[in-house]
Amino acid sequence: MPLDFTVDATDGAARRGRLTTAHGVVDTPAFMPVGTAATVKGMLPSSVKATGAGILLGNTYHLMLRPGAERIEKLGGLHAFMGWDGPILTDSGGYQVMSLTELRKLDESGVRFRSHIDGSYHTLTPESSIDIQHKLDANITMAFDECTPFPVTPEVAAESMRLSMRWAERSRNAFKPRDGYGLFGIVQGGVFDDLRRESAAALKAIGFDGYAVGGLAVGEGQAEMLRVLDVTVPELPEDRPRYLMGVGKPDDLVKAVQRGVDMFDCVLPTRSGRTSQAFTRRGQVNLRNARHADDPRPLDEHCACPACDGFSRAYLQHLVKAGEMLGAMLLTWHNLHYYQELMAGLRAAIEAGGLEDFAGAFAEAQAQGDIPPL
């Protein structure tokens, strides 16, 4: 059978589930660290696993350009190539084609574009994107779509969404079913309720192993994103996983879980780690701030990650100021550990029927902010 998804507990709209793949089980709600180019930047695969991550994300666009899907396939697939034996989801490449390439031609067949690496020309279609993801041996393949820009008129959003739905059907036809592998469709439609409902209905009619909500976190703001989720998530099948793409901050994750979302990915925890930003129970901390220079406390006294267990804020700030790569590595590890602890806390709260209390305590702690030393 393809992917197996079970919901073991609910609390309001939130679900505690298990997604079984050919490379292991993913406990949901789950956050997927982003390994765009077959690596989570600054982290060994064993280190990523030590944070509690159960699934990673790779990217079709980047991997097709370098080192090439055929090469990865010959070397045993993405799991063997990057040394990660757990499940992998691959983004289809559609978003990167739109965001990273200036010279591109989009039509019904697909997208022709120039590589941001060397300027060479390439074409992605629903069929070629699915084929590349098959060569990569992705446990979860994403349908090829156009990420609708923001802001946009209803007319342009409708045209874009309907093109993505036609591409979704071609993606479904191109996908090769096998045990422990699945294909997710992507709901588009911008911030327009009727288009989101139309998109969800079209995807359900085609039939997918999971359903993603795309085209959010592109500038619309949290309130509008949550409103769109309130409209979209109830339209998705209850017996399939729901994935909110490219989101986001810890507060976004908590609020989206409360609305029934099961899976997330975002570059924020890793990118922030490389830019001296840390996420903690009391909000975000900027290690470039001069007040950390003489602070002997750990970054987060309740965290057991290597950055907090063995080093002071003063040392972390020294690494940042000195431009030492260890600083970015430790802060990345901490951020991923924090995100995984947050997801584990959400899962436990759903199981116990205490999600509302958990979310309230989370919001209260975040509102207090980082406390300076005495």
Catalytic residues: 91, 265
Residue 45's nearest CA partner among 62, 73, 23, 13 is 23
3-state secondary structure of 342: helix
Strand ranges across the sheet with 110-114:
104-107, 110-114, 121-124
Q: What separation in angstroms does the CA of 30 have from each of 60, 90, 343? A: 21, 15, 6
Q: What are the distances in angstroms from CA 310 to CA 264, 303, 306? A: 29, 11, 6
**CB 60, CB 129: distance < 8 Å:** yes
**Cα separation of 244 and 163, whole Å?**
20
Phi, psi (5° rounding) for residue 57? Answer: -115, 135
Sheet-wide strand order for 4-11: 4-11, 14-21, 24-28
Convert 158-194 to b/e letters by CB count within 10 Å (16 or more is b): bebbbbbbebbbbbbebbeeeeebbbbbbbbbbbbee
Cα radius of gyration rounded to whole Å, the chain: 20
For β-strands 30-32 and 140-142, DSSP reports them as: unpaired
User: What is the C-alpha separation between 241 and 258, in angstroms, rounded?
Assistant: 14
- Cis before 76 (ω within 30): no
For the chain, what percentages of helix, strand and coil (3-state, to nearest 5) are there? Answer: 45, 20, 35
Contact between residue 174 and residue 142 where contact means Cβ atoms under 8 Å apart: no
For 127-187, give the DSSP string.
HHHHHHHHHHT-SEEEPP-----SS--HHHHHHHHHHHHHHHHHHHHH----TT-EEEEEE
